[in-house]
């Protein structure tokens, strides 16, 4: 950087040479000052002064527009309109803004739903009765109704699925070893005991040979 001339920070943040001639109120900026203003090479005070003048002077606004025309023709030729391009970019910017908004709203909604779900789950796990007291009762009742092993206070042997237990049907039921025990064997498949408790024996256990005559109770 050539540091021989004093520099100052410009309005746009670049660097520029110190202005040599102040702009007076009502005075048209000269070509060089307007040129520097156009290129963003003016300092803060100069920028404010030129802008103030431009707001009031149509002639200088035309001069400024002329600089932009030269630039556009130099860089773009005549068949490229920077206005049309700016409009197209503006639409693209709006579309991008909408897309970002949709993404934000969707994310916010997803987070809200997730938070609600987690909160509900935690609350329910700690206080199940608050959310479904009747459901809990009905589940208990259903459990009792399904439990067919206890009926009328008596124990009943449930039917056994042969296939499920596999090979169990090959096991010969052992006849009572002692004919005169507390419980006696009946071909009908019933075993009676001293306490008159009746147990239903499944077919599996009934498939036995006829007991010997001497096994008959005396």
Partner 1 sequence: MPRRFPADELNILPVGMLVRAAAAGDDASFEELVRRYYGQVRRQIVGFFHSDNDADDLCQETFLKAWRKISTFREDASFSTWLYRLTENLCKDELRKRGRIPPAASLDDPETSAADLRDISDIDQPEEALLRKDSAEALRRALDLLDPDDRMLLLLHETGGLSYAEIAERMHLQPGTVSSRMTRTRQKLKKWLSDREEKP
Stretch near partner 1 under the rule CB under 8 A, chosen from 80-88, 135-143, 169-177, 197-205 = 80-88
- Number of residues located near partner 1, criterion CB under 8 A: 58
Which backbone phi and psi does 4 adopt, to 5 degrees?
-70, -30
In the complex with partner 1, the residue whose CB is nearer, 6 or 126, is 6
Nearest distance from C-beta of residue 104 to partner 1, angstroms:
15
In the complex with partner 1, the residue whose CB is nearer, 1 or 24, is 1
21 Cβ contact partners less than 8 Å away, ≥ 6 residues apart:
30, 33
In whole angstroms, what is the distance from residue 14 CA to residue 39 CA?
Answer: 10
44 Cβ contact partners less than 8 Å away, ≥ 6 residues apart:
9, 10, 11
In the complex with partner 1, the residue whose CB is nearer, 96 or 215, is 96
Interface with partner 1 (CB under 8 A), residue from 22, 27, 45, 85: 85
In whole angstroms, what is the distance from residue 105 CA to residue 114 CA?
Answer: 14
H or E, element range at 150? strand 150-151
What is the binding site for partner 1 (CB under 8 A)? 1-2, 4-5, 7, 10-17, 20, 31-32, 35-37, 39-42, 47, 50-51, 54-55, 61, 64-80, 82-83, 85-90, 92-94, 96
């Amino acid at each position: 950087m050539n540091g021989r001339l004093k520099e100052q920070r410009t309005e746009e943040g670049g660097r520029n040479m110190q202005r040599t001639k102040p702009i007076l109120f009502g005075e048209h900026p000269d070509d060089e000052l307007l040129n520097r203003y156009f290129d963003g090479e003016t300092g803060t005070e100069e920028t404010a002064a030129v802008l103030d003048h431009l707001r009031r002077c149509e002639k200088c606004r035309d001069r400024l527009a002329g600089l932009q025309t030269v630039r556009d023709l130099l860089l773009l030729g005549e068949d490229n309109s920077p206005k049309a391009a700016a409009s197209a970019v503006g639409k693209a910017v709006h579309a991008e803004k909408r897309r970002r908004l949709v993404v934000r709203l969707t994310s916010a909604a997803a987070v809200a739903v997730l938070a609600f779900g987690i909160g509900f789950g935690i609350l329910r796990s700690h206080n199940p009765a608050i959310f479904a007291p009747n459901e809990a009762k009905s589940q208990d009742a259903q459990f009792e109704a399904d439990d067919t092993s206890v009926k009328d206070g008596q124990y009943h042997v449930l039917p056994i699925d042969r296939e499920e237990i596999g090979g169990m049907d090959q096991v010969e039921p052992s006849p009572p070893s002692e004919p005169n025990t507390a419980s006696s064997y009946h071909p009908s498949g019933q075993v009676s005991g001293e306490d008159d408790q009746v147990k239903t024996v499944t077919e599996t256990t009934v498939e036995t040979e006829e007991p010997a005559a001497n096994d008959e109770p005396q």
